[in-house]
Amino acid sequence: MSFHPFRLSLILWMALLAACSAGPGTDGLKIYRHSLGGRPTSLDPVQSATVYANHLVVNLYDTLYAYKYLARPYQLKPNLAVAMPEVSDDGLVYTIHIKKGVHFIDDPCFPEGKGREVTAADFVYSMKRHFDPKSRSQGSWLWAGKIEGMEAWKKAGADYDRPVAGLKALDRYTIQIRLTRPFPQLVHTLAQGFSAIVPREAVERYGREFSIHPVGSGPFRLQTFDSVRAVLVRNPKYRKEPIDLAYEGYDPERQARYGIARIQGKVPPLVDRLEIHFIKEGLSRWNSFTKGDEIQFASIPRELLDEVLLKKQPEVVLRARYAKKYFYTSGLENGFVHTDFNMKDPKIGYNPDPRRQERNHALRCAIRYAFDWAERNRTFYNDMGRVFPGIIPPVVPEFDPDASKESIRHDPEKARKLLEEAGWNAANLPVLTYGGVASVTSRQMFEQFRGWLTRIGYPKEKIQFDSYASFGDYNKAVKQAKIMIVGMGWGLDYPDAENTLQLFYGPNGSPGSNASNFDDPEYNRLYEKSSVMQPSPERTAIYRRMNRIVEDACVTISGLSRRYILLWHKNVVSYPDSSIVGGFHLKYVDVLPEGQEKK
C-alpha cells in the first residue's frame, strides 16, 4: 500500500480537534464558565428552593434586597429597592420604595415585545403567587400566617384581581407590607430568589413552561437551559450602577490578593456570557476545572484534598503547583449536618409508658456518646469541618464559642454505662433503623455508625440500613416520620439562628422541617417568644437556652459545619460565595483577556 488512510484520517481528525469553540457568534465575547454541584429543575422564583435554583433566579430576576458582594459577616443592601425599608415602631408595617425606570427584558409576552417598566404591583403579584396553589410554591412557609389577609385571599380562591390587606402597592413605586406579628427576618426573605419579581404577562403567557422561560429584569437573560448547563447572556437593559467597592464591604487585607480592586467603577454585569454547568460528580467537576479551557470555578473533591492541599489547619493552604494556577477561598458553610432521632417512634422517642420514655432517653444519650465526631469529620469531611455542640452553628452571630462540649464528646465507656443503668442489654435493645439514600457515602456513613455502636455492645444485626433509591423517596419517608434515625443537613436561608431553631419547634413537626418531631412545651414557648424579637443580647440568651434544652433531651447528634474551599482560575476576577451571597456575586465576576493575569 502506498498511502496510509489511517494516518491521513488521524491527521485530519487531530486538526478538527484543535478547532474548539464556544458556539457561533461568541468571538470576542467575555465568557465566564461557572459550575454548581447540582442542577435546578425549575427557574420559577416561587420554586427556587435549592441553592442551585437560587443562583440562577437572582441573576435572571430582580429582588428588592440583596447581600453586599464582599462584606463578611453578610450585610443586606437595597437592590431594586431604593433604600432599606421604613419600618413602623411596632415592627408591623414596612414601606419600601423601588427604583424607577427599571424594565423587564424584551419578550413576546409584552405588547410589541418590548419589556415594560417594573412596578410595585409586580412585587405584590409575585408574592401573591406563593399563596396560589396553582403555582406550587416551595417558599410560602417563609411568610405563612405572617402577612395580613393573605390566608383569606387564598381561601377566597386566589384571585389576583382581589386585594390583600397586608400587601399593597401604594403607588407605582411604593410597596407596603403589613404583618400580623413582628418578623425581624423579613428583609432577609426579600433578598431570596423566592421573592424575585416576575411579570404577570409572562406567567400567563407561558403557563407551566414559565419555569423554563424566565422573563425578568436581572443582570442576565437566559439563552439555553437543560439538565447539564444553563447559558445566560448579558441583559443590555440592566440598570447602570457602577461598582463602589467600599460600599460592597471591600476588605483589602482579605480580598486585595484576588485583584478585585480592578473592578472598581465598572458597571455590572461584567461578562457577556455566563455559563453555569451543573456537575454532580465532584471528580468530573474537578477534571473539567483543571483542564484549563472548560469550567473556571470548582471546589476540591473530597478524595483529592490531600493531593491539592498543603495544609488544612488552621488555615487552608494550596500546594504550590495549584496555588500558581488558581485562586481560592475557604470558610464554614452556612448550615450544618446532624443526625436526629425520630421522637414519634415509641421505640426510641416519646412513649406512653413514662418508664420506657426515660429509658429511651438514656438510650439516645448513649448512642450520642458512641458517636465519634472526630472520626466522622476525618473520614467524610477531611478533618476540616467544625464540630460544635447543639444546633446554633458557628456562622451565625448567636453562636456561643464557650458552650459546654459535653454533647459532642465521644465516650464509649459512658455510653455503655448509660445503657446498663437503664436496664438495656443485647437481648432487649430495640432494632435501630438508620435512614439514608442508597448512595455510596450514606451507606458508608451507616457502616461507620454501625461500627461505633457495636463497640458499645449493640448487637450488629440490630442496626439496619433503611435505604431509599432517591432523595425524593427519602424525603417522603422523613416527612411521613417513618425513619427512626434521620441524617439531615440544613442550609441556612438567612444568617439568623432562628432559621435553625425552628427545626425543633413542635408545630413544625412532620411534614414540616422538624424531622425529629421534638415537641417540648418550654422550647416551643421560648421559640414563639424569640421569633418576634429583634436581635439583642436578650434574644441571644433565649436562643442559647433553647439550644441547651435540645442538647439535654438527646434528640439529635449535632452538629458539624462543613468547610468549603472554592477555587477559580487566575484570569477570573471574583470573590465567590456558594450560599448566602450565592448567585448575587456572579454579576461582579470579570474575566481578564489572556496574558493579563499578573497584577
Partner 1 sequence: MEMLQYALRKLITGIPLILGVTLISFLLMVYFGPDKTYDLIGKNATPEQIAEIRHQLGYDRPFLTRYLEYLKELVTLDFGYSDSTGERVSSILKRTIPISLALVLPGFVLGNLLGIALALAAAWYRGRWLDKLIMGGSVVGMSVSFLIVIIAFQILLSSNYGLGWFPVRGWNVYDFGDYLRYVTVPTLATVFVALGYNTRFYRAVFVEEMGRDHVRTARAFGTPPAELLFKHVLKNALIPIITRIMFSIPFVVISGALLIESYFGIPGVGLVTYDAITTGDQPVLKAVVGLTAALFVLVLILNDILYKVVDPRVSLK
Partner 2 sequence: MNRSRERTSLWAKAWYKLRRDRIGMISLGVVLLYFVVALGVWLGLWGQGWSQVEGPMWAPPGPKYWLGTNIIGQDIFERALYSTRTAFDVGLVVAVLSTLLGGLMGGLAGYFSNRWADELILWLMGVLDAIPFYLFVAALAYALQGNPYAMHIAMIATFWTTTARLVRGEVIKLKQFEFVEAARAIGLPRRLILFRHILPNTFHILLVQATIVFVGAIKSEVILSFLGLGVTDGVSWGLMIAESTQEVQAGHFSNFVTASSFLFVLVMAFNLFADALQDALDPRKVSA
At 233, list the grid cell. Answer: 447572556
Contact with partner 2 (CB under 8 A) among 440, 521, 537, 593: 440
**Residue 511 interacting entry, from partner 1, partner 2, none, C-beta within 5 to 8 Å by type:** partner 1
Q: Which residues pair with 225 in a beta bridge?
A: 230
Residue located via cell numbers 432517591: 470
Residues 6+ positions from 214 with CB-CB distance below 8 Å: 43, 44, 56, 57, 60, 61, 202, 221, 222
**Residue 38 interacting entry, from partner 1, partner 2, none, C-beta within 5 to 8 Å by type:** none
**Closest C-alpha to 184, from 534, 539, 536:** 534
Does 205 engage in binding with partner 1 (CB under 8 A)? no
Shortest CB 598 distance to partner 2, Å: 31
Q: Which is nearer to partner 2, 412 or 506 (CB)?
A: 412
Q: Which is nearer to partner 1, 9 or 536 (CB)?
A: 9
Q: Which is nearer to partner 1, 137 or 342 (CB)?
A: 137
**Closest C-alpha to 502, from 485, 515, 484, 488:** 515
Cβ-contact 503, 518 below 8 angstroms: no
Number of residues that bind partner 1 (CB under 8 A): 55
Q: Which stretch binds partner 1 (CB under 8 A): 40-48, 261-269, 381-389, 421-429?
A: 40-48
CB atoms within 10 A of CB 545: 13
Does 473 engage in binding with partner 2 (CB under 8 A)? yes
Report d(CA 372, CA 98) in Å as an integer. 52
Helix (H, G, I), strand (E, B) or coil at 580: coil
Which x/- pattern over 252-271 shows residues binding partner 2 (rule: CB under 8 A)? --------------------
Residues 6+ positions from 44 with CB-CB distance below 8 Å: 135, 198, 210, 211, 214
Distance of CA 380 to the CA centre of its chain: 20
Helices 440-455 and 354-370: crossing angle in degrees, nearest 10, is 110
Number of residues that bind partner 2 (CB under 8 A): 33
Shortest CB 439 distance to partner 2, Å: 6
Site for partner 2 in 297-336 (CB under 8 A): 301-304, 306-307
Contact with partner 2 (CB under 8 A) among 136, 200, 262, 443: 443
**Residue 95 interacting entry, from partner 2, partner 1, none, C-beta within 5 to 8 Å by type:** none
Report d(CA 205, CA 208) in Å as an integer. 9
Cβ-contact 575, 585 below 8 angstroms: yes
Across 490-499, b (16+ Cβ under 10 Å) vs e yields bebbbbbbbb
Does 118 engage in binding with partner 1 (CB under 8 A)? no
Q: Which is nearer to partner 2, 214 or 436 (CB)?
A: 436
Amino acid in position 306: D
At 318, list the grid cell. Answer: 494550596
Does 469 engage in binding with partner 2 (CB under 8 A)? yes
Does 294 engage in binding with partner 1 (CB under 8 A)? yes
Does 482 engage in binding with partner 2 (CB under 8 A)? no
Shortest CB 183 distance to partner 1, Å: 15
Q: Which stretch binds partner 1 (CB under 8 A): 91-99, 274-282, 337-345, 439-447?
A: 274-282
The Cα-based distances of 512 to 258, 392, 469, 540 in angstroms read 42, 19, 22, 24
**Residue 321 interacting entry, from partner 1, partner 2, none, C-beta within 5 to 8 Å by type:** none
**Residue 438 interacting entry, from partner 1, partner 2, none, C-beta within 5 to 8 Å by type:** partner 2
Does 290 engage in binding with partner 1 (CB under 8 A)? yes
Enumerate binding residues for partner 2 (CB under 8 A).
281-283, 286-287, 301-304, 306-307, 378-379, 437-440, 443-444, 447-448, 450-452, 460, 464-470, 473
